[in-house]
Amino acid sequence: MTERELIIRLKNGIEVLSSKEYYFDASVIEERGTFCISHAHSDHMPRRVVGNEVVASDITLRCLNAKSKKQVSMASVDEITMLDAGHMSGSRMFHIEVNDRRVLYTGDLCTRDRCGNKGASPIETDILIIESTYGDPRYVFPPSDVIASLIRDEVEDNLSQGISVSLLAYPFGKSQDMIRILRDFHPYVDSSVYNATSLVRTDVDPLECRLWNGNNIDEPFVIICSPWLNRIKQAELMCNRNIKRIAMSGWAIDDNYKRRMGVHEAFPFSDHADFNDLINFVKGCDPELVITHHGSADSLAQEIKSRLGIDARSMRKGQRTLAEF
């Protein structure tokens, strides 16, 4: 591999290779190379750990070591700048310089300030590797504070009528957002949410909640649950109680989302950038090339080219060099 050659490919995560080797959200943490983990959601965490060091936030490192038999430490890498991705507690973007070209890898990101999470800010770069979860133009969300108010109103209305409420949210990220939004209601949480919250809470952000152990609760209550409700021991009790089920997801924009989730109500509350956020972020970074991945990659690449006039290509397995995109 020559000093001037730059390879970006999708293999063990997203690989950026030159005289040094960088791996972003890799499936395997190996002994050789620099491994960067953007956040603690399972689809971005490694499935196997062989090496001893990673580049990540303190919170992400804590979450990794909680689930991995092999413990790792923080690598000391001066040439990597970590930036807040705004997606969940501890989520980071990574900015590096390779062969005199600046490369920004976002992982999942959210540019909106939301429930104590500061949104991601663009930074000038030459190559931008960006997620495209909501890279289709139909995914445009109302302001987060507006949706948060609607969720609070919905919960309060049901409790005032003696109806308990369960909110379905991923254990990491949106569950903590819901705890912040509904803290005045002293929410219960299921075991998966409780364990996740225990890993990300800090003195500044205590994330107070109560673990529901499956016992009957006489008064109307609020519980925040994993969407995979049938996997928790409280499932039978939940199904037998008069409980209104509510889901929070950007996919709630889709008409059939409520039916697919089996809930009474759904709100388009997301910890991802929506389509307009992604376009504005790309514009702010002013890159020469955008590589889209992890979602509606083809759609976002086409929209970036047509709206911004910036070279954009979706990432494909097996590509090896920039010329192949």
pLDDT at 319 exceeding the cut of 80: no
Q: Which residues contact 38 (CB under 8 A, 6 or more apart)?
A: 24, 25, 44, 56, 60, 85, 87, 91, 92, 93, 94, 105, 106, 107, 108
pLDDT at 109 exceeding the cut of 70: yes
Domains and CATH numbers, the chain: 7-139+272-324 (3.60.15.10), 144-267 (3.40.50.10890)
pLDDT at 148 exceeding the cut of 60: yes
Output the CA–CA distances (angstroms, integers) from residue 139 to 255, 300, 312, in the order listed: 12, 11, 20
User: H/E element holding 61?
Assistant: helix 58-67
Q: Which residues contact 222 (CB under 8 A, 6 or more apart)?
A: 155, 159, 164, 165, 166, 167, 182, 185, 186, 187, 188
Task: Supply 262's token pair.
Answer: 């089996």
Return d(Cα 267, Cα 255) in angstroms, integer.
Answer: 11
Q: Count how many residues are written for the chain.
A: 325
Query: Using one digit for the tens of pLDDT, what is the confidence trace for 43-95?
Result: 999 999 999 999 999 999 999 999 999 999 999 888 999 999 999 999 999 99
Whether 231 contacts 48, CB under 8 Å = no
For the entire predicted model, the pTM comes to 0.92
**E strands of the chain, at which residues?**
7-11, 13-17, 21-24, 28-29, 34-36, 48-49, 53-54, 73-74, 81-84, 92-98, 101-105, 127-132, 164-168, 188-189, 210-211, 222-225, 243-248, 265-267, 289-295, 311-314
Q: Which amino acid is at 231?
A: R
CB atoms within 10 A of CB 222: 24
Query: Using one digit for the tens of pLDDT, what is the confidence trace for 246-299?
Result: 999 999 999 999 999 888 999 999 999 999 999 999 999 999 999 999 999 999
DSSP assignment of 130-177: EEETT-STT--PPPHHHHHHHHHHHHHHHHHTT-EEEEE--TTTHHHH
Return d(Cα 316, Cα 325) in angstroms, integer.
Answer: 8
Annotate 253-277 with b (16+ C-beta within 10 A) or e (fewer): beeebbeebebebbbbbbbbbbbeb
As a whole number of Å, the CA-based R_g of the chain is 21
Q: Which residues contact 132 (CB under 8 A, 6 or more apart)?
A: 278, 292, 293, 294, 295, 296, 297, 299, 300, 301, 314
Query: Using one digit for the tens of pLDDT, what is the confidence trace for 185-243?
Result: 999 999 899 999 999 988 888 999 999 877 777 789 999 998 876 555 556 555 656 78
Q: What is the pLDDT of residue 219?
A: 86
